[in-house]
Amino acid sequence: MASDAPAAAAARPKLHGRAFYESIGSPKYIIAPMVDQSEFAWRMLSRSFLPDSQKSKVLAYSPMFHARLFGEEQKYRDRHFQPTKPGSDALFLDGNPAIDRPLFVQFCANDPQALLAAAKLAAPYCDAVDLNLGCPQGIAKKGHYGSFLQEDQELIHRLIKTLHENLDIPVTAKIRILDTEEATLKYAQNVLSAGASILTVHGRQREQKGHLTGLADWQMIRYLRDNLPPETVLFANGNILRHEDVDECLAATGADGVMSAEGNLSNPAIFAAPPPPDQEPPRGYWRGRDGRGGWRVDEVLRRYLDIMHQYVLGVSPPPPRRPLFVPGDDDAAWLLAEPAVLLPGRQEGEGGVAAGPKKKRRSDVAKENPALMAANFIGMQPHLFHLLRHFVSRHHDVRGALARARLGDIETYEAICRMVERKVAEGLLEYERTGGKSVEADVPRALSAEEPPEDDPESSARAVRECWRPWWVVQPIIRPLPKEAMAKGAVQMSKKEKKRMAAEMEGKEEAAAKKSKDGTARDTPAVAAETAAATESLEKTTSYPSSALVSG
């Protein structure tokens, strides 16, 4: 492949920076690179909610790939990247110009030559290669890649420059912000001077993850926009929970495009504008009595399975389905005519999900049917748990069925889809029968209060208030902000930090006691200091649960 690169470069001049960005349609919406979660089927699902004329203008990133493994192991490539059909040169899924462009392929790496070898293998099937400099997880620290390269700016420069000088397609990079505006600006300038055509900035620092994720700093991204050359193409990442946040982010940061990761996982339709209020929405879009609406989980699940059938499994057209139920259809006849859904291979029991054959290990599946180890199958279960997070918190039988679903078992996922459809239908009928009162018990306090709470920057109340929908509608998962996580006990300080705080608190408590005759204020300084210490020393004072969902 390397020998073909000069000829390809001569045939099509390599574009850079804004010229390159404009050549791929100047996309404003960007599907983030996510570990095992931004694979082909999910990219297709995310684009499916936009009109055909706009689908190609959504830029998508591949999941983050390990450059050395991608370059050295055919098995790794076969599992994670399928641009051609097995044993053939015929175009297949990833990067197919007819259905999956524009596409950037992202790698993590710390060796310029290993990165280049991997990039050359991917280059014929994508529009650009991206270097991950944002992953904050422990595995990135152990492997010395992602955000844990940011202390080695010389290595970062060599990694990007090597690709820029040796690939016939552009190189881009994604970074996280640093402690100060000046340090972050120098970081961005280093990446751009090495040859990056597009810079994506995640507005959080490396330490902001898990319970201490907190808010992304859009003002830091605005500072970069104002201090980098005007021709710089800049993408903003962070705080994108709903469609309305995209335009707010563009206005606040001045970025050219907005990238979404977890917001996209919760709602793959996040980049699609909601149907206008004066128009009848499609069957799959629900609008409540208060005018608040969103895409129904059964509609999204149907689309996802249809994509798996049509593209991944090659079953075209997908299996026929009845029109999606809406109140006013022949309600009772449909629900009463069909028996309860039974999962394949299981006995009839509560919810049709009684225990069946033991779930197979991945190693066993790999031996029996290696084709099922591909990314599009591996991503199904985590995708549905994320997508149905609010749904399964109420319907535990669906959660149990999903937990027992075997890798690549499409029949089981189809049965789960039918379970979801029935429960959504029952929920919609109950909503209509009670005049909307059936969901009142689920309404968060922040939404039901007569007086909305103040916009506290350390509170998630506003986000909860704006994003809440009934359980049958896709909606974001709202993380508690650090102060809230601290109050709930979700963040625990180390013994060393507690000992240091105890010494500092001794004098403060004595002073506070003198100011309060009854001593009731003695606890106040301790609580305040504990909260401050936890948020001040994020990485040093807390332990974070690892997550493989989002690359950062």
Closest CA to 131 of 225, 58, 67: 67
Give 20-25 contacts, CB < 8 A, sequence gap 24+: 20/128, 20/170, 20/197, 20/198, 20/233, 21/197, 21/198, 21/233, 21/256, 24/59, 24/101, 24/102, 24/127, 25/56, 25/57, 25/102
Written as six digits, the tokens of 192 are 């751009």
Residue from 167, 140, 166, 232 nearest 193 by CA: 232
Half-sphere exposure of 272 (CA within 13 A, CB side): 19
For residue 420, with 0-12 CB atoms within 10 Å meaning exposed, 13-18 middle and 19 or more buried, which class applies?
buried
User: Hey, which residues are catalytic here?
Assistant: 135
Rounded distance between C-alpha atoms, residue 237 and residue 34, angstroms? 13
Contact present, 177 and 220 (Cβ < 8 Å):
yes
What's phi and psi for 42, nearest 5 deg?
-70, -35
**In residues, how long is the chain?**
552
List Cβ neighbours of 403 (8 Å cut-off, separation of 6 or more). Answer: none
Dist. CA 377–CA 261, nearest whole Å: 20
**Torsion 16-18-21-25 (CA) sign:** negative
Residue with tokens 């679903």: 405
Three-class secondary structure of residue 63 per DSSP:
strand
Task: Copy the structure tokens of residue 82.
Answer: 């399928």
Question: Backbone phi, then psi, for 539, in 5-degree steps?
Answer: -70, -35
**Tokens 């990446």 sit at which residue?**
191
DSSP designation for 156:
H
Listing DSSP states for 88-141 in one string gives S-SB-STT-TTTS-SEEEEEE-S-HHHHHHHHHHHGGGSSEEEEEE---SHHHH
3 state SS of 258: strand
Q: Which DSSP string do the residues of 263-322 spell out, in sequence order?
A: HHHH-TTTTSPPPPTTSPPPTTEEE-TTS-EEEBHHHHHHHHHHHIIIIIS--SSPPP-P
